[in-house]
Amino acid sequence: MQRKDNKKRGNTSGGKENRGGKSGENRKAPFKKQFTKKKTQPTPKKEDGIRLNKYIANSGVCSRREADTYIATGLVSVNGKIINEMGYKVQLSDDVRFDGRRISPEPDTYVLLNKPKAVASTTSTSKGLTVMDLISNATTADVKPVGRLGRNATGLLLFTNDDKLVKKLHSKGMERLFHIELDKNLKASHLEEIKEGLTIDGKLIQVEEISYVDNAPKKEIGLKIKHMGNSVIRTIFDHLNYNVVKVDCVTIAHLTKKDLPRGRWKILTKKEVELFSML
């Protein structure tokens, strides 16, 4: 009886040790398995980019197979460098050109913003709150502002990724109407000087139209100009010894602020986009 009890107790003790051993192995095994899985199957990152042939095909130029042929023959460049490597990957922000013409896998997109005051019209992330922050939910396309507005200026600002339109607007100019307020009344003689064109620092600055704002003091001016910069207005009035108090872009070509409150944006309609072809 005593030997049976001892045997039983011994078996019981051994059973616990075996179970303890198995339990220890079970605790370690999943950790090893997960660790190995993470090493061999990393999560894909956005930085990995898009294969160049897919980028070209998505832009509508040709098929992927044809793109490989064009890449091999040196017709494709990325950021100014000819790429012959099969499987080369690019980012959406890269400058990809096919036979010298820039291409994009994204559809042409046009966004109109009614810019509020104290917002920088730049793509730089080091300038505090920018117009790019205000339109961040408008589109995933890589749009950029066309022309500039000063930080304290308000009004309409156009964004697009349509390089063909941007090139056209910079070449021909983009007509914009500004409501300007000065620190004092604008003399009639100065209004005529601006209308005829001013030569400042050896450069002729011409405007399309200038007039006093109806039913307002003569320090409020309506000025239509094709110049794309953001400092030309201040340059004109600084030259004539006026301080600019307020600048508001009221229209861009055929686009107006109708139904577009300050700080809001909208995607242009097909008809609004087509009217740019008349410029």
C-alpha span between 180 and 249 (Å, rounded): 9
φ and ψ at residue 200, rounded to 5 degrees: -125, 125
Per-residue confidence in pLDDT tens, the chain, 279 aa: 445 444 444 444 444 444 444 444 444 444 444 444 444 444 334 457 889 998 998 888 888 899 999 999 999 999 999 999 989 999 888 999 999 988 888 888 999 999 999 999 888 777 789 999 999 999 988 899 998 899 999 999 999 988 889 989 988 889 999 999 999 999 999 999 999 999 999 999 999 999 999 999 999 999 999 987 778 999 999 999 999 999 999 999 999 999 999 999 999 999 999 999 887
Q: How far apart are the first and last CA of the chain?
A: 110
Give me 93's structure tokens: 């922000």
Burial class (CB in 10 A: 0-12, 13-18, 19+), 95: middle
Answer yes or no: are the C-beta atoms of 74 and 85 closer than 8 Å.
no
The alpha carbon of 98 is separated from its chain's Cα centroid by a whole number of angstroms, namely 22
**Distance of CA 199 to CAs 111, 206, 207, 234, 239, Å?**
35, 9, 12, 14, 10
* Selection from 146, 215, 217, 213 nearest residue 178 by Cα: 213
Tokens of 8: 């039983």
Are the CB atoms for 180 and 223 separated by under 8 Å? Answer: yes
Instruction: Give Cβ neighbours of residue 172 (< 8 Å, ≥ 6 apart).
Output: 226, 279
Domains of the chain: 47-102 (3.10.290.10), 110-172+257-278 (3.30.70.580), 176-252 (3.30.70.1560)
